[in-house]
Amino acid sequence: MTATPLPTARNRAVSTTFVVLRVLVALMFVVASAGPKFFGEVYAVEIFTEIGAGQWFRYLVGFLELAGGVGLLVPRLVAPAAIGLVGLMVGAAFTQVVILDNPAFVVTPVVLGVLCGLIAWHHRASLRTLLSR
């Protein structure tokens, strides 16, 4: 029988840091990103008009951001939600650079994508457990 090591102060600090990071990133996606898309904020409507895919795409992206943000708050869904949001942010970065020809605005999706990647990496063990079922 193997003894489970007790959490150290460093492990608790890292875990607490990732909980705070998850909540902040989730709030960013739910409130600051999905919200304007659902409520038809002028800037969000203009961007999706410029993309040319139609306003249905604004609602789809808003829904995916909302689902990912909520998923970051549900312990069993953290890793898959974070991975999904990484994919969404890759698409957002591509869209900013290639379709909208606005490379200056690529910073936000890159930063959010990296943060989601770190969250997914931190929760990789739970992803393995989820996938093995």
pLDDT in tens, 17-62: 999 999 999 999 999 999 999 999 999 999 999 999 999 999 999 9
pLDDT digits (tens, 9 = 90+) for 67-84: 999 999 999 999 999 999
Specify whether the CB–CB gap between 79 and 130 falls below 8 A.
Answer: yes
Share of the chain above pLDDT 90, in %: 86
**SS3 of 41, please?**
coil
Q: Please, what is the Cα angle at 24 between 37 and 55, to 5 degrees?
A: 10
The per-residue pLDDT for 3 is 58
Task: Report how far Cα 48 is from the mean position of its chain's Cα atoms.
Answer: 19
Q: What pLDDT band is residue 127 in, cutting at 50, 70 and 90?
A: confident
The Cβ of residue 33 has, within 10 Å, a number of other Cβ atoms equal to: 24
**SS3 of 40, please?**
coil
Specify whether the CB–CB gap between 110 and 93 falls below 8 A.
Answer: yes
Q: What is the mean pLDDT of the chain?
A: 94
Which of 54, 67, 61 has its CA nearest to residue 38?
A: 61
Q: Please, what is the Cα angle at 60 between 58 and 64, to 5 degrees?
A: 115
Instruction: Provide the 8-state DSSP code for 102.
Output: -
